[in-house]
């Protein structure tokens, strides 16, 4: 059986990455009450921690992400972004104070932000102009999928591993991202 490499591998991987991005954002609120209870965090501290990701993401997105993609290339940037955000996600499990939660979420936002321009660059390189919009649609369709699948998976992970297992399990998994991408060429 012959697979269409562009749609299956390149489009599928970008969709999977978008789903992973959205799943994290959708489940942060699920663990907030546990963190609040365990660490005695007040609602304003939870709000500050929640905003840390967006502050880091927006800052890097506005100032550096495009330059990073131009300098390193789309594939290298995407793989590096996934590995770094996975490390930050894993470090969230080691956090125990407002400052450590804020810093890991802030650095998580910074590490994830180059993924979006890298995805657009990769898709523009791989798909002809007539298919570029459809490829973007495929990639970005991962966002609602992550939002739908993330909460039930989060509840299952928390039930099995506790709240620290929630960031740790996908964090460890994401550090393995370079393996399946070895065969993916950066350009057509």
Predicted TM-score (pTM) of this structure: 0.86
31 contact partners, CB below 8 Å, separation of at least 6? 154, 158, 163, 166
Cβ density class 48-73: b for 16+ within 10 Å, e for less: bbbebbeebbeebbeeebbebbeebb
101 contact partners, CB below 8 Å, separation of at least 6? 35, 49, 52, 92, 95
Q: Provide the percentage of residues in the chain whose pLDDT is more than 90.
A: 37
pLDDT tens-digit readout, 30-83: 888 888 888 999 999 999 999 999 999 999 999 999 999 999 998 889 888 988
Alpha-carbon distance of 114 to 26, in angstroms, equals 20
Determine which of 24-33, 43-52, 111-120 has the lowest per-residue pLDDT on average.
24-33
Determine which of 33-37, 94-98, 166-170, 183-187 has the lowest per-residue pLDDT on average.
183-187
- Looking at residue 188, its pLDDT comes to 46
Alpha-carbon distance of 187 to 121, in angstroms, equals 10
Question: What is the band of 29 on the pLDDT scale with cuts at 50, 70, 90?
Answer: confident
Residue 103 near residue 88, CB atoms below 8 Å: no
* Mean per-residue pLDDT over the chain, rounded: 86
- In this model, does residue 168 exceed pLDDT 80? no
pLDDT tens-digit readout, 147-163: 898 899 888 988 898 88
Topology of domain 5-179, CATH = Growth Hormone; Chain: A; (1.20.1250)
């Amino acid at each position: 059986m012959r697979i269409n490499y562009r749609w299956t591998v390149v489009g599928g991987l970008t969709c999977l990455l978008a789903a992973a991005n959205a799943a994290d954002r959708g489940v942060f609120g699920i663990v907030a009450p546990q963190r609040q209870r365990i660490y005695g965090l007040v609602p304003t501290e939870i709000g500050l921690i929640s905003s840390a990701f967006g502050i880091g993401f927006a800052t890097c997105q506005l100032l550096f992400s495009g330059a990073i993609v131009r300098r390193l290339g789309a594939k290298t940037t995407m793989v590096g972004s996934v590995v770094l955000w996975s490390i930050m996600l894993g470090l969230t499990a080691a956090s125990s104070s407002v400052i450590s939660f804020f810093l890991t979420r802030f650095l998580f936002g910074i590490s994830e932000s180059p993924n979006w321009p890298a995805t657009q660059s990769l898709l523009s390189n791989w798909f002809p102009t007539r298919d570029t919009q459809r490829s973007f649609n495929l990639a970005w369709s991962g966002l609602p999928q992550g939002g739908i699948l993330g909460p039930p998976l989060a509840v299952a992970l928390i039930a099995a591993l506790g709240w620290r297992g929630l960031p740790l399990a996908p964090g460890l998994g994401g550090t393995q991202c370079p393996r399946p991408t070895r065969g993916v060429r950066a350009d057509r």
